[in-house]
Amino acid sequence: MRRRDFITLVGGAAAWPLAARAQMRRPATIGFLGSYTPSTQRHWNAAFVKRLQELGWSDRNNVVIEFRWSDGDADRAAEIAAEFVRMKVDVLVTAGTAPGLALKNATSTIPIVVATMGDPIGTGLIANLARPGGNVTGLSVQQAELGSKRLDLLREMVPGLNRLAIMTNPVAPNSVNELQEVRTLAGPLDIELTVYEIRHRDEITRAFDAFRGRAQALYVVSDPLIAIERTRVSLLAAGARLPTIHAYREYAEAGGLISYGTSFPDMFRRAAEYVDKILRGAKPADLPVEQPTKFEMVINLIAAKAIGIEVPPTLLARADEVIE
């Protein structure tokens, strides 16, 4: 090889994207902080991995995905975040505002993709939707903003609703914002609220004792802790004959009456596209945070029958899916 050709080759390699040069040495590493449990979010993870494969990233070939699970525990999430930083992974992925903050608190340099952010600006995850400006990007689920829609659906399901129970985790940033949204809406509608705060799993049963005789329906504010226990929440609600409204279809599939929100598998597929762009050289600061484009309403008629409620035909006609 001539000296001039050699210099051109070396100089050209220096201009290659970081990801391309890294792949010549080793597979890229994704640190995946699971907010829930493997079984709870298996469909979401499958959507993420499948989309990565479609984009050319094959696990153990040119990418390695290191999965860790926090089980809804904030302390555990912080420990996992620190572990990933020590491992020097190439990109971090999680779902939810609180786990996203755990990752952001652990590093200001490793790119972070959050598949489902509740209020990314208000909670400090990013500075701006169009230009996040730091090492965090991803997708917003507009959790709090959808509170009015969920309350309207519940009032349509339960005509004359004036006593509403709310189950929420007070330490989850998304939950705080959504609860405030529902409080603001309930006042002018003369709806009396009974709020029970869930910080630990063993408090869920006590919540239903507090709701007994004081509520006509239950609004469940989603967070990892409550999501992991969604089947138990649905069973207890059925026993108390309480109609329930939830944020995601997984709750309705677990026995909840009605859910309205974004599609999590769709969000995780789109998160994989962010990871692809970052591994190919894009910076999180330049990748706009996307707003949800797909909302779905799921109604569980089995749950309706169990609590003796008849779902209005107008609601059934608008549902994206009816579980029978």
**What is the rounded average pLDDT of the residues 86-108?**
95
Residue 127 CA to residue 137 CA, distance in Å, equals 10
Query: Which strands sit side by side in the sheet containing 258-262, from one edge to the other?
Result: 192-197, 163-168, 217-220, 244-246, 258-262, 295-300, 321-323
Cβ(314)–Cβ(156) below 8 Å:
yes
Kindly report, residue by residue over 121-174, the tens digit of the pLDDT. 888 899 999 999 899 999 998 666 788 899 999 999 999 999 999 999 988 877
Q: Which two tokens stand for residue 110?
A: 């490793």
pLDDT score, position 143: 64
Kindly report, residue by residue over 43-67, the tens digit of the pLDDT. 899 999 999 999 999 877 899 999 9
pLDDT of 276 over the 70 cut = yes
Provide the residue ranges of all domains of the chain, joining segments of one domain with +. 3-141+264-293, 144-262+296-323
Homologous superfamily of domain range 3-141+264-293: Response regulator (3.40.50.2300)
pLDDT of 225 over the 90 cut = no
Cβ(169)–Cβ(221) below 8 Å:
yes
pTM reported for the whole predicted model: 0.82
pLDDT score, position 223: 84
Kindly report, residue by residue over 290-317, the tens digit of the pLDDT. 988 778 999 999 999 999 999 999 999 9
DSSP code of residue 108: S
Q: Which two tokens stand for residue 88?
A: 């020097």
Establish whether domains 3-141+264-293 and 144-262+296-323 are of one fold: yes
Cβ(265)–Cβ(43) below 8 Å:
yes
Q: Which CATH architecture has domain 144-262+296-323?
A: 3-Layer(aba) Sandwich (3.40)
